[in-house]
A and B are shown apart, each in its own frame.
Chain A
Amino acid sequence: MKLDELKTPWMAEVAYEGRTPRLDSLTSEVAKLRRDVLMRDFWLIVPLLAAAGGSVFFNWWAQDAVSFMSQIAVLSTLVFAAGVTAVLFLARRTKSHDHWTLRARLEREIERLGRQASLLLNVGYWFILPMLMVILITSIVGQHERTGSYVPGAIAWGLYLASVSISALTVWLCRREAKRTFIPLMSRLKELHRDLVGH
């Protein structure tokens, strides 16, 4: 028997006519997929921008006089929201495309997964630390405007403690997700890529 003789059983298996899937459900799934992606982006970015906008409105625009410290607090919120939005957009920049070759697709996926893994591994630097800084600045400015003192009260200390605890948990969960999901898959794709181009 030669390898070419396997063409007959292969063509027989390929000719198998199974149940044709319902295409109306298929097309509605495509629409759902697009909606899901849109909603995910919406819930990540819009609340951040709304918070920044609210900060500008309530702490700056609606005030008669805005202290230098208040301006710093509002600006830090704006910079944080803009920075996170930019990071998320940049991480999604390499979008996969069905018409590329397997090699190109593997390279794109490796790059995309690398970006996502890097985002999760470094969440402390691009999200948590800036967020804690914004919380610290805005709370101190608020405390000063209410009481005239820069020394945080008991409620502020409680807020800091809760923020740091939640942040530590978030960092741990993100790093775990990166190590469990993204890095093993990236290794697998790199292995496939090596197999494809290495011969």
Chain B
Amino acid sequence: MQIQFEQLVREHLGRIRQIARRYAAAAAVDDLVQEILLRLWRSLPGFRGEARVETWIYRVALNTAMTNVKESIRRRELQVALTARSESGQGLAAGASPADVLADFMRGLGDIDASVLMMYLDGLTADEMSAVLGISANAINVRINRLKQKFTDTYID
């Protein structure tokens, strides 16, 4: 099982790190990554491969990130301070790279919308996202359409 887990970590560490970066303050990203890996290791025996690995990783990672006791409060305070300072789309230089646009757009989203966006960009279907979040595929599609609209309003002249 350890070899299987090592391979899985090698393949998906970048994804896990991106999720952690969205849900933890910069100094706490490594701690959150470690916590997510711990939870993945503990839940590995229950993963039977019926769903895509990405779906399982998102499920465990989002559950861990959003219910992380100490980090949740700390990050919340940080996010409130950042939101007060700038809204997404403002202060982004003309000709900014797609990576900058992505980071800026992500920063302006709430926790749930950010999770939907990450899964959408990762190619998960509405049904797969529904299995992660526990809300209907219809509600997911509504959120995605709103995200697209918000993106257009913010970044398209």
Contacts and interface: CB of A to CB of B under 8 A. Distances in A.
Contacts of A11: 121-122
B73 A98 contact: no
The A contact surface, by secondary structure, is: helix
Contact of B67 (A3, A99, A106): A106
A33 B34 CA distance: 13
Interface string A68-86: 0000000000000000000
Contacts of A2: 148, 151-152
Contacts of A98: 39-40, 42-43, 46, 59-60, 63
B142 A102 contact: no
Interface residues of A, number: 46
A6 B42 contact: no
Contacts, number: 143
Interface of B: 2, 5-6, 9-10, 13-15, 17-18, 33-34, 37-43, 46, 59-60, 62-63, 66-67, 69, 72-73, 76, 97-99, 101-102, 105, 110-112, 115, 118, 120-123, 131-135, 139, 142-143, 147-148, 151-152, 155-156
B126 to A, nearest CB: 14
A121 interface: no
Interface in A105-125: 105-106, 109
Contacts of B69: 181, 185
Contact of A14 (B15, B39, B46): B15
21 contacts: A1-B98, A2-B148, A10-B102, A13-B14, A15-B14, A16-B17, A17-B13, A21-B37, A23-B9, A99-B59, A100-B59, A102-B115, A103-B135, A106-B66, A106-B67, A185-B73, A188-B72, A189-B67, A189-B72, A192-B111, A196-B134
